[in-house]
Structure 1
């Protein structure tokens, strides 16, 4: 089986994205597992080399067929949108516009099956808006570019995967928005994503909303029976190996030891807290459900303008995001 081609978008050039990409692609084992292809500006990456003291070549190209995919060479689809001396650590509409186009180009390559997954370095929302692209972030841009309405956030560490029914909503609004259709759709997304990644029969567990998953009506107002169980049963009828709702206070321990391949969390903190506790440095944010089966992974931090260009940024999250892209790329 050929190693997957992973599109790595440079993000905001004024932030730490270019730096962590160069550092990550200095590791030989990255090339042993995948074929990395950067989408960005070659002159920005060349500027980074003496700052991080890394001895590699930057190879500007316009087409996948021109890539070498050799350790010691960074192949970059060179959009040539920015001057090499753009200031580090400053919000720039020019950099925000470039970050949008790096991502849009990577998406077009993924839609044509020229790359197998996308891994994104961070962008800056203010810069993005100044550049004329009024999106909250990567996820919304990806949904727009792929014409996707139903998608979800997946978080992973080396020992745990979590997918969310809701994310950035207050707790009351989150619970109100959960319904059987959404429950079913997210279970289906989790199943299809893992099957495409090579899991034969992924085991899925759904968290309860209330303490002890409601304990047969003792806690809450029957939310598990009303909002979760019909979606679980529909998925089961289609042959999906899903169970629950389970009490959240024990479910994540069980998933972490290998009883389940992925957990469906009902709201933001229910899923994020165990991920952060079990592996904050190795946590990866993943967008699943994009049309065309496109998988996008992301570093779990921002542009860090305060340390950009100072050789301080740690590449661990980028390495984890690349590894997640390799694991989830359609097989």
Structure 2
């Protein structure tokens, strides 16, 4: 029986957060600048940006942002954070073309992710926070992973020597949701969904909610796949054949899971008070309620890894890049949640 990998808390106390810049032609550079400008008055914890310093300086100038930039090492980031945006330089250099993605930037985008993860695993960063990437651009450059989540799992598995299963969570002030299947066509969901996949996903969610979110005995509400959760098999059989056996297995393991529940009645305020996370069967079933309730505050969290990773819940927004229109709310929420999870994990490990 597969179990979630044991979490290894190697972080140094109060280590800054490592922020990878994402696609530099998107809004990543400017929301990083805006997050630093918001500073401690907005509760933004110390972080350093893995990026090309010249591009960050150029983007700040383009936006008319008065930002001091300090090229630094991770160990010095917290010390300089109050007076300057700490930027840890990449070996790669970026082409500064806001709104126009350039394949030449792919190497630096991947380098920033690699170094953020390496810093976190070495204990030099408290968590990995990622700005949005453009997957097609990376695919064209030979990147062979579906996205951030799968690549982070690859890096973590290579480090630990064991195959790890990443789980995506959208976390907002009023709702946490986890999709069991993610970036696949809706027609493929019933073919992909298995009892084992639901059990593995829910088990990882329960483990991380306890160890990182500090929730003792987390309550997992499990959605059905079909309308009315199949209505006893009259509207599809997956709910009884696949989902209910998964819930029974989870309960036998001592996990407080219940359902399958009709998704259309799970997300109003009174229903949300009865659980700590909703385990959903497909992407939109999880993300629509999460984003409807907290579009500017929801955070993408990757569970099941030996380090913490958060990110904004939006994409690169090439259409507004470099125009001074991007809001940093979701990135700020991602930074704040990463700090809270890092602190909770460190305390749980007795560090």
Contact preservation (8 Å) 1:96, 1:124 = no
Instruction: Give 1:261's aligned residue.
Output: 276
Contact preservation (8 Å) 1:128, 1:135 = no
Q: How does 1:279-298 map to 2 (within 5 A)?
A: 279-290=294-305, 292=306, 294-298=307-311
Q: Within 1, Cα distance between the matches of 2:34 and 2:234?
A: 53
Q: Within 2, Cα distance between the matches of 1:228 and 1:99?
A: 38
Q: Within 2, Cα distance between the matches of 1:59 and 1:314?
A: 23
Q: Is 2:319 the counterpart of 1:306?
A: yes
Contact preservation (8 Å) 1:3, 1:33 = no
Greater CA deviation, 40-49 or 65-74? 65-74
Contact preservation (8 Å) 2:223, 2:261 = yes
Instruction: Give 1:140's aligned residue.
Output: 150
Q: Is 2:196 the counterpart of 1:185?
A: no
Instruction: Give 2:98's aligned residue.
Output: 88
Contact preservation (8 Å) 1:9, 1:106 = yes
SS at match of 1:263: strand
Q: CA deviation at 1:9?
A: 0.6
Instruction: Give 1:39's aligned residue.
Output: 50
Aligned residues: 327
What CA deviation, in whole Å up to 9, does each residue of 1:98-130 have, x standing for no partner?
Answer: 010000101111222322221111122343244
Q: Is 2:221 the counterpart of 1:208?
A: no
User: Which stretches in structure 2 are left out of the alignment for 5+ residues?
Assistant: 1-11, 158-162, 347-351
Pair 1:201–1:309, CA change in 2 (3 A): same
Greater CA deviation, 302-311 or 176-185? 302-311
Q: CA deviation at 1:314?
A: 1.7
Contact preservation (8 Å) 2:16, 2:78 = no
Q: Within 1, Cα distance between the matches of 2:76 and 2:264?
A: 50
Pair 1:245–1:254, CA change in 2 (3 A): farther
Greater CA deviation, 251-260 or 296-305? 251-260
What is the TM-score normalised by the length of structure 1? 0.89
SS at match of 1:45: helix
Q: Within 2, Cα distance between the matches of 1:315 and 1:279?
A: 14
Instruction: Give 2:37's aligned residue.
Output: 26
Which aligned segments of 4 or more residues in structure 1 are displaced greater than 6 angstroms? none
Q: Within 1, Cα distance between the matches of 2:141 and 2:242?
A: 41
Q: Is 2:179 the counterpart of 1:168?
A: no
Q: Within 2, Cα distance between the matches of 1:60 and 1:18?
A: 15
Q: How does 1:223-234 map to 2 (within 5 A)?
A: 223-234=238-249
Q: Within 1, Cα distance between the matches of 2:98 and 2:192?
A: 41
Contact preservation (8 Å) 1:208, 1:246 = yes
Pair 1:215–1:254, CA change in 2 (3 A): farther
Pair 1:310–1:256, CA change in 2 (3 A): farther
Q: Within 2, Cα distance between the matches of 1:255 and 1:119?
A: 32
SS at match of 2:266: helix
Q: CA deviation at 1:203?
A: 1.4
Q: Within 1, Cα distance between the matches of 2:341 and 2:208?
A: 7
What CA deviation, in whole Å up to 9, does each residue of 1:33-89 have, x standing for no partner?
Answer: 633122112222222333333333222123425641533322222114215x63333
